[in-house]
Amino acid sequence: MIFVLAAYGDAPSPWPGRLLAVTALAILIATPVFVLQTFRRSRSGDDASSDIYAGLTGARALDSVRPGEVHLTFHTYSGLIIYFVQRRHDVVLPVDQGKILLGRMLRYNCSWGLLSPGCVFIPFLSYFEYRAQMKKVAAAANG
């Protein structure tokens, strides 16, 4: 404290105020830039939802369900603070791949969905949709 008093006398140091102003300015500039980049990325389809299908075999669009396959309909949610994106995944795939896909979609919703405006409801909606679709997977596996 002595060195501050020696440099400024009785006046308070201007550095905490300047640091606060620079930090606030950086946040005000960086936040809209980050939101716009995230919004553009989600509109182009180049986001984390494309990784959901990585490594899955036999997934195809809905035409007809063959024995040993299951038809899944699941919604994924993402967004950031001021916007919200809901995607409907309507896919037919083998039963064992269906379990993997549903787990990935639930994990996606519980991570990326928590950044969107509906973050309070998304985990509950996702869990109940996950359970309903897992019942379809179990029914397809049994018969």
Q: Are residues 122 and 52 in the same domain?
A: yes
- pTM for the model stands at 0.66
pLDDT in tens, 72-121: 999 998 877 777 888 898 889 899 999 999 999 999 988 888 877 778 88
29 and 84 in a common domain = no
pLDDT at 11 (0 to 100):
63
Q: How many domains in the chain?
A: 2
Residues 64 and 124 in one domain: yes
Query: What is the distance between the alpha carbons of residues 99 and 137, in angstroms, rounded to a whole number?
Result: 7
Same domain for 118 and 99, yes or no, is: yes
Residues 135 and 87 in one domain: yes
> 14 and 53, same structural domain?
no
Q: Following DSSP, what letter does each residue of 52-94 receive, concatenated?
A: TTTT--S-EESS-PPTTEEEEEEEEEEEETTEEEEEEEEEEEE
User: What pLDDT is recorded for position 1?
Assistant: 47
Residue 50 DSSP code: G
Does residue 77 share a domain with residue 26?
Answer: no
Q: What pLDDT, in 10s, does the model give residues 23-72?
A: 888 888 887 777 777 667 666 555 556 678 888 887 777 777 788 889 99
Which residue range(s) make up the domain with 10? 2-40
Classify residue 10 by its DSSP letter.
T
Same domain, yes or no: 74 and 34: no
